[in-house]
Amino acid sequence: MSLKSGRIASFFASLEYHALEISLLVLLALNGISVFTRYILNHAVGELFEVMILLSVATYWLGVATAERLGGHLGMDFAVAALPPAPRRVADLLRTVVILGFLAVVIYSGSKLVMSQIRFGTSSSLLDMPTWLFSIFIPFGCTLLTFRTIFPPRRVRQPNEPPL
């Protein structure tokens, strides 16, 4: 890997982390404001709830792709680890095929959803915001997850860790 591509990858990784951090901080602040207005002022602000729902969708799909890059996916590793090497490779291949099949369906349907939202000018009910701005994270996050499933990031071994 060249120095230039390493810097680009590092830049995008940093951008990804910061987007998630900012998104989570905004969700936390909006949730706090929502609780305050609902229970202290006795007035629920529906617009806050709508923004939280839409932002949660974007955060979830980007977060899943980030978790895969860091090796933090949820899986049945304890069951697969108990298998002998040949069945373990088959199980890993089957897992990859199932994940890629699911992601292909979500990318396809998510892209169709975004295109129809753009075509029909669909907007959120309370804030009148274009919903595609948030829905675009569904196919984007799944495309990123597909790439990371096919090309898993290299793990750096710790000094006292045995070779794989």
Tens-place pLDDT, residues 45-78: 878 888 898 899 889 888 888 887 777 665 657 7
Confidence of residue 159 (pLDDT cuts 50, 70, 90): low
Confidence of residue 1 (pLDDT cuts 50, 70, 90): very low
As a whole number of Å, the CA-based R_g of the chain is 20
Tell me the whole-structure pTM to 2 decimals.
0.69
Tokens found for residue 43 = 């007035």
Mark 60-97 as b/e (b = at least 16 C-beta within 10 Å): ebbbbbbebbeeebeeeeeebeeeeeeeeeeeeeebee
* Cα–Cα dist 107/136, whole Å: 10
| pLDDT (0 to 100) of residue 36 | 92
Q: Count other C-beta atoms under 10 Å from residue 146's C-beta.
A: 20
- Please answer whether residues 148 and 69 qualify as being in contact, where contact means their C-beta atoms are separated by less than 8 angstroms: yes
**What does the angle CA 124 – CA 138 – CA 92 come to, to the nearest 5 degrees?**
155
Confidence of residue 116 (pLDDT cuts 50, 70, 90): very high
* Cα–Cα dist 121/108, whole Å: 20
- In this model, does residue 110 exceed pLDDT 90? yes
The mean of the pLDDT values for the chain is 84
Q: Tell me which of 75-79, 81-85, 133-137 is least confident.
A: 75-79
Tokens found for residue 12 = 């995008």
Provide the terminal-to-terminal Cα distance of the chain, rounded to the nearest Å.
22
| pLDDT (0 to 100) of residue 73 | 61
**Arithmetic mean of pLDDT, 103-128:** 92
DSSP class of residue 83 equals S
DSSP per-residue letters across 19-44: HHHHHHHHHHHHHHHHHIIIIISS--
| pLDDT (0 to 100) of residue 74 | 59
Confidence of residue 2 (pLDDT cuts 50, 70, 90): very low
Confidence of residue 5 (pLDDT cuts 50, 70, 90): low
